[in-house]
Amino acid sequence: MKREALLKQGAIWAFILVELVFFSVAGEYLSVSDKAFMDFDNMLLLLKQSAPIGIIALGMTIIMINGNIDLSVGATFALSAIVLLDSMTWPFMQALGGWSVPLAWLLALGTGVVLGAINGLIVWKTGVDAFIVTLGSMLGYRGLVFMYNGEQPTSHLNWDLVDFAEAQILGLHTATWFLLGVALFLWLLMTKTVHGRNAYAIGNNREAAVNAGIRVGPHFLINFMLIGFLASLSAVVFYSESGSVNPNDGMLYELWAITAVVLGGTKLTGGYGSIISTLGGVIAIQLLRKGLGHIGADTETVNLVIGLILIAVLFLDRQLNRKGKEELKT
Protein backbone atom coordinates (compact mmCIF):
# COMPACT_ATOMS: atom_id res chain seq x y z
CA MET A 1 0.00 0.00 0.00
CA LYS A 2 2.80 2.40 0.86
CA ARG A 3 4.52 1.58 -2.43
CA GLU A 4 1.31 2.32 -4.36
CA ALA A 5 0.93 5.64 -2.51
CA LEU A 6 4.51 6.62 -3.31
CA LEU A 7 3.97 5.79 -6.98
CA LYS A 8 0.82 7.92 -7.08
CA GLN A 9 2.53 10.84 -5.35
CA GLY A 10 5.61 10.57 -7.54
CA ALA A 11 3.62 10.47 -10.79
CA ILE A 12 2.78 14.18 -10.76
CA TRP A 13 6.42 15.17 -10.22
CA ALA A 14 7.50 12.86 -13.05
CA PHE A 15 4.89 14.58 -15.23
CA ILE A 16 6.34 17.98 -14.28
CA LEU A 17 9.81 16.76 -15.29
CA VAL A 18 8.43 15.62 -18.67
CA GLU A 19 6.80 19.03 -19.14
CA LEU A 20 10.05 20.87 -18.42
CA VAL A 21 12.00 18.74 -20.87
CA PHE A 22 9.32 18.90 -23.58
CA PHE A 23 8.76 22.65 -23.48
CA SER A 24 12.49 23.36 -23.24
CA VAL A 25 13.14 21.31 -26.38
CA ALA A 26 10.01 22.46 -28.24
CA GLY A 27 10.78 26.05 -27.32
CA GLU A 28 14.02 25.87 -29.29
CA TYR A 29 11.99 25.46 -32.49
CA LEU A 30 8.53 26.91 -31.78
CA SER A 31 9.09 29.62 -29.15
CA VAL A 32 7.49 33.03 -29.72
CA SER A 33 9.85 34.50 -27.08
CA ASP A 34 13.59 35.08 -27.02
CA LYS A 35 13.77 33.78 -23.44
CA ALA A 36 14.55 30.15 -22.69
CA PHE A 37 11.59 28.34 -21.11
CA MET A 38 13.60 27.18 -18.09
CA ASP A 39 15.04 30.64 -17.49
CA PHE A 40 15.47 31.09 -13.70
CA ASP A 41 13.40 34.29 -13.55
CA ASN A 42 10.74 32.56 -15.63
CA MET A 43 10.47 29.75 -13.07
CA LEU A 44 10.28 32.19 -10.15
CA LEU A 45 7.48 34.05 -11.91
CA LEU A 46 5.70 30.75 -12.54
CA LEU A 47 5.70 29.97 -8.81
CA LYS A 48 4.34 33.44 -8.04
CA GLN A 49 1.57 33.03 -10.62
CA SER A 50 0.70 29.62 -9.14
CA ALA A 51 -0.06 31.12 -5.73
CA PRO A 52 -3.67 32.40 -6.08
CA ILE A 53 -5.18 29.13 -7.32
CA GLY A 54 -2.55 27.08 -5.47
CA ILE A 55 -3.53 28.33 -2.02
CA ILE A 56 -7.18 27.54 -2.77
CA ALA A 57 -6.33 24.12 -4.24
CA LEU A 58 -4.41 23.13 -1.11
CA GLY A 59 -7.51 23.84 0.98
CA MET A 60 -9.70 22.05 -1.54
CA THR A 61 -7.55 18.94 -1.02
CA ILE A 62 -8.73 18.62 2.59
CA ILE A 63 -12.36 19.16 1.57
CA MET A 64 -12.09 16.47 -1.10
CA ILE A 65 -10.26 14.01 1.18
CA ASN A 66 -13.35 14.42 3.39
CA GLY A 67 -15.50 13.32 0.45
CA ASN A 68 -16.91 16.85 -0.03
CA ILE A 69 -16.37 19.66 -2.53
CA ASP A 70 -16.60 23.47 -2.38
CA LEU A 71 -17.77 25.28 -5.52
CA SER A 72 -18.05 28.68 -3.80
CA VAL A 73 -14.33 29.42 -3.42
CA GLY A 74 -14.15 31.67 -6.51
CA ALA A 75 -17.00 33.86 -5.28
CA THR A 76 -15.49 33.91 -1.77
CA PHE A 77 -12.19 35.00 -3.34
CA ALA A 78 -13.88 37.92 -5.14
CA LEU A 79 -16.02 39.06 -2.20
CA SER A 80 -13.03 38.99 0.16
CA ALA A 81 -11.02 41.06 -2.31
CA ILE A 82 -13.78 43.68 -2.45
CA VAL A 83 -13.89 43.86 1.36
CA LEU A 84 -10.09 44.22 1.46
CA LEU A 85 -9.91 47.11 -1.02
CA ASP A 86 -13.16 48.91 -0.21
CA SER A 87 -12.66 48.83 3.56
CA MET A 88 -9.48 50.89 3.24
CA THR A 89 -11.56 53.76 1.77
CA TRP A 90 -13.92 53.93 4.75
CA PRO A 91 -13.45 57.19 6.74
CA PHE A 92 -12.64 55.55 10.08
CA MET A 93 -10.13 53.23 8.36
CA GLN A 94 -8.40 56.14 6.66
CA ALA A 95 -8.16 57.87 10.04
CA LEU A 96 -6.13 54.90 11.32
CA GLY A 97 -3.32 55.57 8.85
CA GLY A 98 -0.97 52.60 8.50
CA TRP A 99 -3.06 50.51 10.91
CA SER A 100 -5.81 50.32 8.29
CA VAL A 101 -3.81 47.72 6.33
CA PRO A 102 -3.74 44.91 8.94
CA LEU A 103 -7.36 45.69 9.88
CA ALA A 104 -8.41 45.44 6.22
CA TRP A 105 -6.59 42.10 6.03
CA LEU A 106 -8.48 40.86 9.10
CA LEU A 107 -11.83 41.98 7.67
CA ALA A 108 -11.12 40.22 4.38
CA LEU A 109 -9.94 37.02 6.07
CA GLY A 110 -12.90 37.13 8.44
CA THR A 111 -15.22 37.37 5.43
CA GLY A 112 -13.85 34.09 4.10
CA VAL A 113 -14.17 32.36 7.46
CA VAL A 114 -17.81 33.47 7.84
CA LEU A 115 -18.74 32.39 4.31
CA GLY A 116 -17.03 29.04 4.86
CA ALA A 117 -18.81 28.62 8.19
CA ILE A 118 -22.18 29.16 6.47
CA ASN A 119 -21.38 26.35 4.03
CA GLY A 120 -20.15 24.07 6.80
CA LEU A 121 -23.16 24.66 9.03
CA ILE A 122 -25.63 23.95 6.23
CA VAL A 123 -23.82 20.73 5.25
CA TRP A 124 -23.62 19.68 8.90
CA LYS A 125 -27.12 20.54 10.06
CA THR A 126 -29.14 19.62 6.96
CA GLY A 127 -27.17 16.65 5.66
CA VAL A 128 -27.51 18.03 2.11
CA ASP A 129 -24.61 17.07 -0.17
CA ALA A 130 -21.81 19.66 -0.18
CA PHE A 131 -21.94 19.85 -3.99
CA ILE A 132 -25.53 21.16 -3.87
CA VAL A 133 -24.91 23.43 -0.88
CA THR A 134 -21.84 25.10 -2.34
CA LEU A 135 -23.39 25.35 -5.80
CA GLY A 136 -26.12 27.42 -4.20
CA SER A 137 -23.68 29.48 -2.12
CA MET A 138 -21.51 30.04 -5.21
CA LEU A 139 -24.46 31.75 -6.90
CA GLY A 140 -25.47 33.57 -3.72
CA TYR A 141 -21.99 34.86 -2.89
CA ARG A 142 -21.42 35.92 -6.50
CA GLY A 143 -24.71 37.80 -6.28
CA LEU A 144 -23.37 39.67 -3.24
CA VAL A 145 -20.27 40.58 -5.25
CA PHE A 146 -22.42 42.20 -7.96
CA MET A 147 -24.73 43.84 -5.40
CA TYR A 148 -21.76 45.45 -3.68
CA ASN A 149 -20.61 47.60 -6.59
CA GLY A 150 -22.70 46.61 -9.60
CA GLU A 151 -20.69 45.95 -12.75
CA GLN A 152 -18.00 48.41 -11.68
CA PRO A 153 -14.54 47.37 -10.44
CA THR A 154 -13.57 48.09 -6.85
CA SER A 155 -10.19 49.80 -6.71
CA HIS A 156 -7.82 51.09 -4.08
CA LEU A 157 -4.06 51.10 -4.47
CA ASN A 158 -2.14 51.17 -1.20
CA TRP A 159 1.59 51.48 -1.78
CA ASP A 160 2.47 49.82 1.53
CA LEU A 161 0.55 46.76 0.33
CA VAL A 162 2.14 46.94 -3.11
CA ASP A 163 5.63 47.08 -1.59
CA PHE A 164 4.80 44.12 0.62
CA ALA A 165 3.35 42.07 -2.26
CA GLU A 166 6.26 42.81 -4.60
CA ALA A 167 8.98 42.13 -2.02
CA GLN A 168 11.39 39.25 -2.56
CA ILE A 169 13.01 37.25 0.23
CA LEU A 170 15.81 34.87 -0.75
CA GLY A 171 14.79 35.41 -4.35
CA LEU A 172 11.17 34.27 -3.85
CA HIS A 173 8.19 36.61 -4.17
CA THR A 174 5.84 37.21 -1.23
CA ALA A 175 3.06 35.22 -2.94
CA THR A 176 5.38 32.22 -3.34
CA TRP A 177 6.25 32.28 0.37
CA PHE A 178 2.55 32.28 1.24
CA LEU A 179 1.96 29.31 -1.10
CA LEU A 180 4.84 27.33 0.42
CA GLY A 181 3.86 28.32 3.97
CA VAL A 182 0.26 27.16 3.47
CA ALA A 183 1.51 23.89 1.92
CA LEU A 184 3.77 23.24 4.91
CA PHE A 185 1.05 24.06 7.46
CA LEU A 186 -1.57 21.86 5.77
CA TRP A 187 0.92 19.01 5.27
CA LEU A 188 1.63 19.05 9.01
CA LEU A 189 -2.10 19.27 9.76
CA MET A 190 -2.93 16.26 7.59
CA THR A 191 0.01 14.04 8.52
CA LYS A 192 0.76 14.87 12.16
CA THR A 193 -2.57 15.64 13.82
CA VAL A 194 -5.74 13.82 14.87
CA HIS A 195 -7.76 16.21 12.67
CA GLY A 196 -5.83 15.03 9.62
CA ARG A 197 -6.28 11.36 10.44
CA ASN A 198 -9.99 11.94 11.00
CA ALA A 199 -10.28 13.60 7.58
CA TYR A 200 -9.03 10.44 5.87
CA ALA A 201 -11.20 8.22 8.06
CA ILE A 202 -14.36 10.21 7.26
CA GLY A 203 -13.56 10.20 3.54
CA ASN A 204 -12.98 6.45 3.54
CA ASN A 205 -16.15 5.50 5.38
CA ARG A 206 -18.33 8.18 6.95
CA GLU A 207 -20.60 5.75 8.77
CA ALA A 208 -17.67 3.89 10.29
CA ALA A 209 -16.15 7.22 11.36
CA VAL A 210 -19.36 8.14 13.17
CA ASN A 211 -19.44 4.73 14.87
CA ALA A 212 -15.82 5.26 15.92
CA GLY A 213 -16.84 8.42 17.79
CA ILE A 214 -15.57 11.02 15.31
CA ARG A 215 -17.73 14.15 15.36
CA VAL A 216 -18.21 14.42 11.62
CA GLY A 217 -20.37 17.57 11.59
CA PRO A 218 -17.96 19.82 13.55
CA HIS A 219 -15.09 18.36 11.50
CA PHE A 220 -16.82 19.46 8.28
CA LEU A 221 -17.47 22.90 9.76
CA ILE A 222 -13.78 23.42 10.60
CA ASN A 223 -12.67 22.36 7.12
CA PHE A 224 -15.15 24.62 5.33
CA MET A 225 -14.05 27.53 7.54
CA LEU A 226 -10.45 26.66 6.67
CA ILE A 227 -11.00 26.70 2.91
CA GLY A 228 -12.97 29.94 3.25
CA PHE A 229 -10.00 31.43 5.09
CA LEU A 230 -7.60 30.20 2.40
CA ALA A 231 -9.75 31.59 -0.44
CA SER A 232 -9.64 34.95 1.35
CA LEU A 233 -5.90 34.66 1.99
CA SER A 234 -5.40 34.03 -1.72
CA ALA A 235 -7.38 37.20 -2.49
CA VAL A 236 -5.44 39.23 0.07
CA VAL A 237 -2.09 38.14 -1.37
CA PHE A 238 -3.13 38.76 -4.98
CA TYR A 239 -5.04 42.05 -4.62
CA SER A 240 -2.51 43.63 -2.30
CA GLU A 241 -0.45 44.04 -5.46
CA SER A 242 -3.08 44.62 -8.16
CA GLY A 243 -5.31 47.01 -6.20
CA SER A 244 -8.39 46.47 -8.37
CA VAL A 245 -11.03 43.72 -8.41
CA ASN A 246 -13.73 43.14 -11.04
CA PRO A 247 -17.01 41.44 -10.08
CA ASN A 248 -16.20 38.53 -12.42
CA ASP A 249 -12.80 37.87 -10.82
CA GLY A 250 -12.38 34.39 -9.38
CA MET A 251 -14.84 32.76 -11.79
CA LEU A 252 -13.80 29.19 -12.63
CA TYR A 253 -11.22 29.25 -9.81
CA GLU A 254 -13.11 26.37 -8.20
CA LEU A 255 -12.69 24.31 -11.38
CA TRP A 256 -8.98 25.09 -11.71
CA ALA A 257 -8.48 24.22 -8.04
CA ILE A 258 -10.37 20.92 -8.38
CA THR A 259 -8.37 20.10 -11.52
CA ALA A 260 -5.08 20.65 -9.66
CA VAL A 261 -6.26 18.48 -6.76
CA VAL A 262 -7.34 15.64 -9.05
CA LEU A 263 -4.12 15.84 -11.07
CA GLY A 264 -2.30 15.47 -7.76
CA GLY A 265 -4.04 12.13 -7.22
CA THR A 266 -6.77 13.00 -4.70
CA LYS A 267 -9.85 10.81 -5.14
CA LEU A 268 -13.11 12.54 -5.98
CA THR A 269 -14.87 10.06 -3.69
CA GLY A 270 -12.64 10.96 -0.73
CA GLY A 271 -10.39 9.02 1.60
CA TYR A 272 -7.15 9.56 -0.28
CA GLY A 273 -5.07 12.61 -1.18
CA SER A 274 -1.83 14.44 -0.61
CA ILE A 275 -1.04 18.10 0.03
CA ILE A 276 2.39 17.79 -1.59
CA SER A 277 0.92 16.12 -4.68
CA THR A 278 -1.68 18.89 -5.00
CA LEU A 279 1.17 21.40 -4.95
CA GLY A 280 2.62 19.40 -7.82
CA GLY A 281 -0.74 19.52 -9.59
CA VAL A 282 -0.83 23.31 -9.29
CA ILE A 283 2.69 23.64 -10.69
CA ALA A 284 1.91 21.16 -13.50
CA ILE A 285 -1.11 23.20 -14.62
CA GLN A 286 0.81 26.46 -14.51
CA LEU A 287 3.66 24.83 -16.47
CA LEU A 288 1.19 23.65 -19.10
CA ARG A 289 -0.37 27.09 -19.42
CA LYS A 290 2.98 28.84 -19.57
CA GLY A 291 4.65 26.20 -21.74
CA LEU A 292 1.90 26.07 -24.34
CA GLY A 293 1.87 29.86 -24.42
CA HIS A 294 5.65 29.79 -24.85
CA ILE A 295 5.31 27.78 -28.08
CA GLY A 296 2.50 29.95 -29.41
CA ALA A 297 -0.68 28.07 -28.38
CA ASP A 298 -3.82 30.16 -27.76
CA THR A 299 -5.98 30.05 -24.62
CA GLU A 300 -8.53 27.68 -26.16
CA THR A 301 -5.81 25.15 -26.99
CA VAL A 302 -4.39 25.39 -23.46
CA ASN A 303 -7.82 24.68 -21.91
CA LEU A 304 -8.42 21.80 -24.35
CA VAL A 305 -5.09 20.14 -23.52
CA ILE A 306 -5.58 20.48 -19.76
CA GLY A 307 -9.12 19.10 -20.07
CA LEU A 308 -7.94 16.08 -22.04
CA ILE A 309 -5.15 15.40 -19.53
CA LEU A 310 -7.64 15.61 -16.65
CA ILE A 311 -9.95 13.09 -18.34
CA ALA A 312 -7.00 10.76 -18.95
CA VAL A 313 -5.91 11.01 -15.29
CA LEU A 314 -9.44 10.26 -14.05
CA PHE A 315 -9.75 7.29 -16.42
CA LEU A 316 -6.36 5.91 -15.34
CA ASP A 317 -7.23 6.36 -11.65
CA ARG A 318 -10.54 4.55 -12.16
CA GLN A 319 -8.81 1.66 -13.92
CA LEU A 320 -6.19 1.35 -11.17
CA ASN A 321 -8.85 1.42 -8.45
CA ARG A 322 -10.88 -1.23 -10.28
CA LYS A 323 -7.78 -3.42 -10.64
CA GLY A 324 -6.99 -3.01 -6.93
CA LYS A 325 -10.53 -4.06 -5.96
CA GLU A 326 -10.33 -7.14 -8.20
CA GLU A 327 -7.00 -8.11 -6.59
CA LEU A 328 -8.57 -7.86 -3.16
CA LYS A 329 -11.38 -10.21 -4.21
CA THR A 330 -9.00 -12.92 -5.50
Quick: pLDDT tens for 121-165.
999 999 999 999 999 999 999 999 999 878 888 888 788 888 888
* Length of the chain, in residues: 330
CB neighbours of residue 246 within 10 Å: 17
Q: Structural domain boundaries of the chain? A: 35-319
Alpha helices in 98-173 (DSSP H): 100-126, 130-149, 159-166
Please report, rounded to a whole number, the percentage of residues in the chain having pLDDT higher than 90: 53
Nearest 10 degrees: CA dihedral of 91, 94, 96, 99? 130
> Which residues are paired to 155 by β-bridges?
244
The domain over range 35-319 is classified in CATH as 1.10.3470: yes
Query: b vs e for 143-181, b when ≥16 Cβ sit within 10 Å of the residue's Cβ?
Result: eebeebeeeeebebebeebeeebeeeeeeebbbbbbbee
User: pTM for this one?
Assistant: 0.91
Q: Is the pLDDT of residue 187 over 70?
A: yes
**Mean pLDDT value across residues 253-279:** 91
Give the integer Cα–Cα distance in Å for 270 and 96. 46
Strand pairing class (168-169; 154-155): unpaired
Strand pairing class (172-173; 168-169): antiparallel
User: Minimum mean pLDDT among 93-107, 171-185, 188-202, 235-249: which range?
Assistant: 93-107
Give the integer Cα–Cα distance in Å for 116 and 110. 10
Report pLDDT for 89.
86
User: Minimum mean pLDDT among 67-81, 113-127, 165-179, 288-302: which range?
Assistant: 288-302
Query: b vs e for 247-266, b when ≥16 Cβ sit within 10 Å of the residue's Cβ?
Result: bebbbebbebbbbbbbbbbb
Alpha helices in the chain (DSSP H): 2-30, 40-65, 73-87, 91-95, 100-126, 130-149, 159-166, 174-192, 194-204, 206-211, 216-242, 253-263, 275-294, 299-329
Nearest 10 degrees: CA dihedral of 92, 246, 175, 253? 130
pLDDT digits (tens, 9 = 90+) for 231-262: 999 999 999 888 888 999 988 899 999 999 99
